[in-house]
Every structure is written in structure tokens, then in C-alpha cells.
Amino acid sequence: MMVTKAIWGAALLAISAMGGSAIAQDAPQTLAGEATEAGLTGAERRAYILERLTVEEKLGQLHQMPGGRSKNLNSRLNDAELDRVRSGLVGSYLHVAGAEPLENLQRVAVEESRTGIPLLFAMDVVHGYKTIFPVPLALASSFDPALVEATARAAGSEASAAGLHWTFAPMVDIARDARWGRIVEGAGEEPYLGAVMAAAQVRGYQGDDLSAGDTILATAKHLGAYGAGQGGRDYDTAEISERALREIYLPPFKAAADAGTATYMVAFNDIAGVPTTANKRLLTGILRDLWGFDGMVVSDWNSVMELMNHGVAGTPADAGALALAAGVDMEMTSGIYVGEMVDRVKSDPELMKALDLSVTRILLTKDRLGLFDDPYAYHDTEREAEVILSEAHRVLAREAARKSMVLLKNDGALPVTEDVKRIAVIGALADDASSPLGSWRAQGQAENVSTILEGLEAALPEGARLDYVAGADTKDMPARSELRRAVNAAKKADLVLLVIGEDYDLSGEARSRSDIGLPAPQAALAEVVLETDTPVAVLLMNGRPLDISMLSEEADAILETWMLGVETGPAVADIVFGKASPGGKLPASFPRRTGQSPYYMGHHPTGRPADPDVTKDTARYMDIDITPLYPFGHGLSYVVFSYGDAAMDRDSMGEGETLTLSVDVTNDGTMAADEVVQLYTRDPLADVARPQAELRGFVRVTLAPGETKSVSFTLTPEQFAYWGPDGEWQVDAGAINYMIGSSSADIRTSGSFMIEEGVSADGPAAAIETKVSVEGASEETLPRSIGRIERFSRRADALIAPNATIERLTPDLFGWSEGPVWMEERREVLFTDVPGNTMYGWSEEGGLRTALEPSGYAGPPTDIFREPGANGLIADGPDAILMGDHGNRAVARLDLNTMEKTFLATEYDGKKFSSPNDLVRASDGALYFTDPPYGLAGIEDSPAKEMPWNGVYRLAPDGSVTLIDDELTKPNGVGLSPDGKTLYVAVSDPDAAKLYAYDVQGDGSATNRRVFHDAMPFIERGEQGLPDGMAIDAVGNVYLAGPGGIHLLSPEGDLLALIRTGTLAANVTLAEGGRTLFITSGAFLARVHLDGKE
């Protein structure tokens, strides 16, 4: 926590001393307070305030001040600055943070100014606040919008906990020239991918409710064509056509509007000579009048003042008038509005009208955050301590980093195999903790980063050796002695992991490069290492596509790691050592040479399309190939995927209709892996030249070995609109070609369909998101992956491999599957269908079989039972099992050779058990079991129920039964710690869903009942299921069937992960030495290879 005294001065310390969130009783009445006291809310309250503001106070709302510097937050907030707040001359601060200090500052605005209008606190939270996720270009490589949304949600949660209301993100500028440094901040070259990622980030930051206190305002920036600067130079002119603006650069901004972004930021540069900060046609005509945006527009840093540099304003007041009239509501830092515009506005009715509109939008934005009702909602210091850099966020960061890497080349060097005993890690970037944070790192700190070297060392297989040599950094040419050390290390190794690229300072704002090759020191290091005979796998760290032709020719593998954030090391190790397969794809093409820039997929064919034959006069360079080094969408895997032929549900579509393309994709490898299935289209005949290919859909799918999934893309005619020669959107009747594949250059199936006459459109095609659906394999091709594994702690990765998937082993066949038990010598899992009164067996070789029918009650028909079958099962040697026998109201033993059943216990104290459910054996041979009434018709109200309680019992080896606990409402699953000293009992009561722990005494009794895991929060948020059966591994981790899936709990009770099968989970068993988990999940049986291996 920041020390307020050093920053705020005596006046603010007095405010802080009030404590709490209530407004001080002696605080002066404010305009906002008056409106609230009068019972006004919403638009009426905002109008009340607006009518009573002075011109100076109105302009103050439009003024955003830096409260500090990016590396020295809050440093400018002195007493003089507080007086500006009291005078109503500030509407927002950036470069500030901290729940407590910002509450103190907010109190000055709310309680000591005449207006009482809350301040907005802002920061560039671009890819994380404190938990830094991969840079946006890397996140786009995941082709996983749900993941990107989750990272933005986590970033928004942390930023809001630090007192912030507003982030200047996402940056959604399309960038096709890798020389531009800020390509690192966006989603690359394709408008459709940019639009999907823009919408995902807006949803993540803003959530479902902006007033929730843990969401923040998103900013789609930099509106216009900032990424189209000439020559890849930052801030430079975008000399582009209206068609390019509408079709390429604006779609992500339109998608952000459709997703509900609260704010926009204008670009620094000009479009065809018109600076965006003064572009009324763009900021008002398109953004507000055409798209219907009613939120707030903010300038970029000092960009209003810079209108004078553009040469369109002669004085600061002229610059302010141009920006305000164009639609710039809030001015960042330059202070022209508040300092130069008072007289200008008073003398110009049109400017006064524009001013009132801007104030209205700013008040609306603050109201949407709920600040007029609770200005201190963002200032909870306990939440700040709990949320920021939390374990759950670091787990998400590792997943995001893992999914963002792209395997560019692989001749077998990756993953590292068991025969590699000595690895040389070469390159200073391997041990660089700062560069993985990338640009715009908010409050990320190097001390919280796990480096590539640290990750590799921690994951190094037993018996292997790792040698590290720095070799060279990115700035200084290495000494010959250092190069010799690198070469010697390489020669002694079985494999070199060469970590090279850019450091954090080479990509970002004002970091345009004329040469996008490797920095000279890095190239020198690569050259000498690649001259050795040792296989070399290159791990690239960079923030843009690079010219790496030499690496592509000489290296045995190239893994693009980008800049991956705080969990860089563990994520890279996951991929390098094969715990997970790379699945990312390139969001931007890699040119073969810098001179090929800008290179992008969507070029027009021209009258002389590029031809590989250099002797022909076509649109190409004569000294390099016509293709990129690595094309858009490229990315290899450790497995091979095969595609079927595409199918269409119809061959044409007209106005109001849809057309669906479907394709089957199969994992032909031996490990689970992700494939990004990509849909491209081309309009071959139109009124204007059209791109050779445009991305129109994609989906990332996880496939188990041998698994097939069917991917469907549903299109509408409007997705083929273009900006016509008459300056309007048009959709032509005629053929559309489609291509589906693994990249833009790896097309596996193609065809065409027709657009019918009479289709109209009113917006950019790339802003319309294609509906995508994924269906699992048919019953004939089971197993298939289902659900997902949600991780809350990095400790989960040691128990469940990152590439582990949930496999569905059977169709929906059972009324309520239970058990299960693994019979090691038989290599079979046995489980029961309790209402179906049947026990089944499943094995890899034999599949599903009926093992025993009936499994429980076998007498004449009766209406006593709700569930007549057996329930929980445990092994009793290789040839017998023990069971909780619902139907026979007994604990029983079943001989698996003779199928003869023996009842071990049927009553206690002269009364029949209700329906023994689950059981566990202690080391002394005693059994602990639960006896809820679930097997009886009527359950608690069953006339057959003889016990006055629902008990937990101990069955001693001599056959005597002891009551352990008669106070639990619905005891269900039961388990023992590895040392036998702790008994666990799950209670499946929707009003008291908990897992209890007891201390087991020397006589077998159990005392000191306590809550080990409370599942009620899951129930309260609508998760389906109740605490049920469990399995406990050799070190005491508990796998508990519960609400939402299988709860993985540490021996201390921490929730490490949730295995979500997508339906109710009943019970689990560990198998194959703890490497496999079988799950009885409602109507089917499932399995997880915890080690990620088959």
C-alpha cells in the first residue's frame, strides 16, 4: 500500500481520517448531493447537475490530468492539485492507482468540491494490471476469444481493485507493416480477427454490469487508421482510400461498439490529411450518427495541442475548438479545454452546445459506473490485497501463455525427448525477467516473472543436465570469448535451446524499426551457434513479425514465444518438454525480408498477379519468393490433423437467410492437441477488386488422440458486403469461393456457393462475427473430449498435466452412474447404474460390458426402493469388491469369479440400514461407510426407513458396527487420508453442502468434526451437483465429486482445480498408480489421463 502522507499532504490526511465510505457530516452540500437528496436519478440527476455547472466547471469535466508518471504513480498529486479538484477543474486522472489513496482523492472531489462529481481514474491496462498476460499480438495468436476475454476480465478485476475505473484498452488498430512498433498491442493484420478480439476484450473488461465494482470502462483505440502510418512509422500519415478505411481499419472499432465499449480514443495521426483528433466525419458522422455510440471519446496524450503541429490550428484555442466540435469529449493532459477555451465557448453558441454534449456524455459514463450512487465502490483494500497477482490469475496467465505460442518450424527437435540428456540454453533473453512483460506493462514487475531459464530448470527431466550461457543481449555486440562459450556449450549438448529476439524496448510506441531482422548481437550469436552440428531449437522472444529467413533455413525448430508475461517460464517448459502441444497460429504474416513489408494475406490480385516465375512481368520482387516466410494463420503442432471434405446445408442464400459449412477434423496423433480450423472466402467477381482471401471464421478445438469433431460455420449474405464504387455498402449476386484449412496457405477443402439477388447491407462485413459450432464424435468414434479443466492454482499443473483432457468413454446409457473402482490386474473399471440395478465393466480392450444384473435387490417386485442397485464400490483384492448395496440395505462383498455376494452388515442396534452408500477401508481392515436414505422411495419420508438419523458407521474386522456420527443431514461420499488419521465425509445437502474432516482415534472412532471444504458458494452461484464420492491420492490430495464437477483439493483443503464434465458428477476413482482418474458422471463414464499421456 502506498504511504499517503508523502503524497497527499495534510489536507488529504484529514479526509482519510474520516474512515469508512460515508460522506462527512460537515461536508458542504454539492450539486450531485442536492440532486440525489431530491430523489433524482439517471438522466434527471445528470440534467440537474449540468444545468448548474459553470462554464469553467463544465470544461473541468473534460480535463484529464496525469496524477503521476507511468513509473511514479500519484507523484503529482500535491496540495495545489487538490485545490484544482476542489475547484471542479479536473474530471479524470491517469497514472494513478491504489484503493486507499484514490479513495482519499475521490473524497476531495465528492465531498469538498461544489459539484460533487466523482473523478474517473484511468491507466493503460493493456494486457494485465499486476498479473501480466501475453502481449496482445501473442494473445491474438491463441485464436481463442474466450481466453482473451478471460484475461481482460482478470485484468479488469485487478485494476478495479486498485481503485481504477477505466483502461485505455483494447488497442484494435489493424497493422500490416511489421516495422510499426505498436503492432505488438493489437491483433495483427486481418480485420475479422481484429474485430473478434476487440469484442472479446470489451466484454472482458466491462463484464455484464459496469456498476458492479469489479469491472472497468474499456476504450477502443486508436480510432481511425493509426496502424496504417506510412512506412510503418509511428504517428505518421495514413494515406489510404475510403474503401480501405471502411473495410480494413474500422471493422474492429465497429465490433467494439456492438460489444458495448464505453469509450473510444482518437489516433495521433491523420487520415489523408485530416487529423483524427479533429475529424468530425469520423468521430460524429460515423461513430455517433451511423453506429449509434453514445459514450465518451478521449483524445490521446497531448493530441489536441498537436493539432498545431499538424498545421490545422494556429493557436491552442483553435486546436481546442476543432477537437471539441469534432466530438472529442475529454482531453488528455494538454489542458487546452480547461485553460484556453472559457472565452471561446462563451462567445460561440455552437461550441457551447458541443460542450454540453460532451459533459453529458462524461456524466453518463460516470453514472454507468455507479459512481453517483457509490463513489467509493472501487476502493476496497481487502479486495485489492486478495485479487492482485492472485494464484487464479497466475494459473490463467500460464494457460494464456501456453496457448499463445506458435510453432513455426519443427524438424523433430521439439518436444525434447528422453534421449536428450544435456541441454544448452543460450541467449541472454532466457534469463531476462523484464522483457517477457512487453510494452504497456501497467504495474507488472520483473520480480514476479518466471523466466524461460527458470521454467526450463524447474521442469528439467530427471537425469538431464542444463547448461546456460548468456551469449549476447540485444544491444551490445558480444565479446569473442562469450561467443566461444556459447559454441562450446552447444557442442557439448544434445540439444540447443537458442533464446533470441527483441527485448521489451524494441517493440511498442515510438519503436518503429527500419530493419525487422534480428538485432545485430542476436544475429551474431545465432550464426555461430547454428554452425555447430548440434540440433538447435530457437525460442523467439519478440513483439512483431521478424525477418528470420536465416533461422528458418538453419534451425531445426522455431517456437515463437512472443512476450508471454509473468508465467513465461512454466508455459514455455510445458511446450518444450511436451506436456502440451503448441496450438497457436500467426495473426500477422512474417515477411522474408524487411523490404517485403508491408506483407499481408489480403492483397488484391492486380492485373498482373504475382507469379513464381521471375522472368514474367508480374507484381513481385525479383530477388525473393512471392510468398511470405510464414503466412497468416500458420502454426504447427506435435500431431497431424486430417480434414474431411466440406459439406453445405444449401448451395445459395438470399436476404435474411443463412448457409452453413461443415467439416470433420481428426487428431491423427498420439497426444491431445488443439487445432485452429480456419475459414477463408473470396469474391472472385465484383465491381471493385477484392482481396485474394479474407478470414471469415475460425475456432480452436481440442482433440484427443484419434478423435474427430465436426466444425460448422454459419454465414449470412451481409458478410460479403464491400464498399462499392458509389460510396455505399453493397452485396453482389454471384459466386463466393470458400477455403477451409489449417492456415491461409494450408487449405484442406474448398468450394463455392451463391449469393442471390436483392441482398442489402449497412456495415462492414468483417465486423459481423460468424456463428461457429463444434460437435463431438459420434458414438462409434468414442472416446471424445468434453468439458474443461479450470485451474485455480499453479500446484494443479503438478497433478493434472496442462494437456490433459476429459474423455467421454460411453454414450448416455445410465440413469445415475456410481461406483467406480479400478481393478488393476483385470485392467478394468467397474461401476454401477444405481436406479438401473446393474453393474458394468469398461476396459480399453473390451469396451463396455454388463458385469452383474441385478447389482442390488434381486427379490420380487416391490415399491420400497427408489434406487435398487448397488452404489459405491471398492476393491477387496484382485478378485472381489466391497459395495454399498442400496437394494439390499447392506454392506456386501462380491466375489468376481463366482459372482456370489456376502452381506457383511445389514443393521445397527436392531434397526435396518436405509441404503448404505459409499465406503472406504482402513489399514486395519475396518470399513467406514455412510447410510443416507437415497435408495428408499420417499427418501426421508419412506415408511421403510428405520433409522432416526442418517449415519456414518464403522464396520470392524470382527463384524461389529459402531456409530461414528448421527448429526449429518445427508452423509454421502467417504474417504481416508493416506496415513489413515483423517476421515472425510461429504454431505450432499443443498442447504449444507460441505466436505467434513474428522480425526481418527486409535480405537477407530472419529472426533473433531470440522469443515474441510465448503461447497455452498458453488451452489449459490448456480453450479449443478452436490458433494458426493471422492478419491484421495498417495499424498492426500482429494478428488471430490461436487457442484460443477470434480473439485481437486490439496491436503490442506485449498481448491486447486475444477474438472468440469458438463453434467452432474457422482463419484471418482484413481487408477494406474494415480495417473488416471475415472469419473461416473450422470449418464456416462469419463476419464482423465492426469499425466496427459495415453
Q: Which grid cell sits at 186?
A: 493489437
**DSSP structure string for 906-965:** -EETTEE-S----EEE-TTS-EEEEE-STTBTTGGG-TT---SS-EEEEE-TTS-EEEEE
Give dist(CA 989, CA 969) in Å, integer: 7
Give dist(CA 1007, CA 1000) in Å, integer: 7
Q: ω before 587 within 30° of 0 (cis)?
A: no
Provide the 3-class DSSP secondary structure of residue 750: strand
Give dist(CA 397, CA 127) in Å, integer: 10
pLDDT of residue 27: 53
Characterize the bridge pairing of strands 465-469 and 422-426: parallel
Q: Among this protein's residues, is 300 annotated catalytic?
A: yes
Give the count of alpha carbons within 13 A of 53, CB side only. Answer: 29
Give dist(CA 913, CA 890) in Å, integer: 7
The mean-pLDDT minimum among 8-12, 511-515, 912-916 falls in: 8-12
Provide the 3-class DSSP secondary structure of residue 740: strand
- The per-residue pLDDT for range 876-902, each reduced to its tens digit, is 999 999 999 999 999 999 999 999 999
pLDDT at 542 over 80: yes
- The per-residue pLDDT for range 78-107, each reduced to its tens digit, is 999 999 999 999 999 999 999 999 999 999
Q: Which grid cell sits at 570?
A: 512454466
Give dist(CA 722, CA 766) in Å, integer: 10
- The per-residue pLDDT for range 424-483, each reduced to its tens digit, is 999 999 999 999 999 999 999 999 999 999 999 999 999 999 999 999 999 999 999 999
pLDDT of residue 784: 63
Nearest Cα neighbor of 673 from 642, 641, 645, 709 is 641
Task: pLDDT band for 28, please (50, 70, 90 cuts).
Answer: low
Q: What is the mean pLDDT of residues 26-40?
A: 88
pLDDT of residue 5: 28
pLDDT of residue 20: 39
pLDDT at 596 over 60: yes
pLDDT at 365 over 50: yes
Provide the edge-to-edge strand list for the sheet that holds 806-808: 784-786, 806-808, 1084-1089, 1076-1081, 1067-1071
How far is CA 728 from its chain centroid? 37
Scan for cell 486447486, then name that residue.
1056
Tell me 415's DSSP state: S
pLDDT of residue 23: 44
pLDDT at 3 over 70: no
Radius of gyration of the chain (CA): 32
Give dist(CA 663, CA 424) in Å, integer: 43
User: Domain 641-779: which CATH class?
Assistant: mainly beta
Q: Is residue 845 exposed (0-12), middle (13-18) or buried (19+ Cβ within 10 Å)?
A: exposed
How far is CA 47 from its chain centroid? 40
Scan for cell 485474394, then name that residue.
692
- The distance in angstroms from the start CA to the end CA of the chain is 48
- The per-residue pLDDT for range 649-685, each reduced to its tens digit, is 999 999 999 999 999 999 999 888 999 999 999 999 9
Share of the chain above pLDDT 70, in %: 97
Give dist(CA 430, CA 545) in Å, integer: 19
Q: Other C-beta atoms within 10 Å of 362: how many?
A: 24
Beta bridge partners of 1078: 1069, 1087
Give dist(CA 199, CA 561) in Å, integer: 24
Give dist(CA 57, CA 90) in Å, integer: 8
pLDDT of residue 71: 83
Tell me 362's DSSP state: H
pLDDT at 48 over 50: yes
The per-residue pLDDT of the chain, averaged, comes to 94
- The per-residue pLDDT for range 839-855, each reduced to its tens digit, is 999 998 888 999 999 99
Provide the 3-class DSSP secondary structure of residue 176: coil
- The per-residue pLDDT for range 163-186, each reduced to its tens digit, is 999 999 999 999 999 999 999 999
Provide φ and ψ at 1008, rounded to 5°.
Answer: 60, 55
pLDDT of residue 673: 93
List of residues 6+ apart from 678 with CB closer than 8 A: 585, 633, 695, 697, 698, 740, 741, 742, 743, 744
- The per-residue pLDDT for range 500-538, each reduced to its tens digit, is 999 999 999 999 999 999 999 999 999 999 999 999 999
Q: Which grid cell sits at 342?
A: 472559457
The active-site residue, picked from 144, 177, 270, 300, is 300
Contact predicate 1088/1059, CB 8 Å: yes
Contact predicate 682/691, CB 8 Å: yes
Element holding 66 (H helix, E strand): strand 63-66
pLDDT at 17 over 70: no
- The per-residue pLDDT for range 92-151, each reduced to its tens digit, is 999 999 999 999 999 999 999 999 999 999 999 999 999 999 999 999 999 999 999 999
pTM of the model: 0.85
Boundaries of CATH 2.120.10.30 in the chain? Answer: 784-1089
pLDDT of residue 780: 46
Give dist(CA 803, CA 851) in Å, integer: 33
pLDDT of residue 776: 72
Boundaries of CATH 2.60.40.10 in the chain? Answer: 641-779
Q: Which grid cell sits at 714?
A: 454459419
- The per-residue pLDDT for range 223-273, each reduced to its tens digit, is 999 999 999 999 999 999 999 999 999 999 999 999 999 999 999 999 999
Tell me 119's DSSP state: P
Contact predicate 845/891, CB 8 Å: no
Nearest Cα neighbor of 732 from 795, 682, 807, 698 is 682
Q: Which grid cell sits at 414?
A: 521439439
- The per-residue pLDDT for range 742-778, each reduced to its tens digit, is 999 999 999 999 999 999 999 999 999 999 999 874 4
pLDDT of residue 10: 37
Scan for cell 530427471, then name that residue.
462
CATH number of 784-1089: 2.120.10.30
Q: Which grid cell sits at 552?
A: 528458418
Q: Other C-beta atoms within 10 Å of 902: how many?
A: 12
pLDDT of residue 864: 87
pLDDT of residue 794: 85
Give dist(CA 893, CA 880) in Å, integer: 7
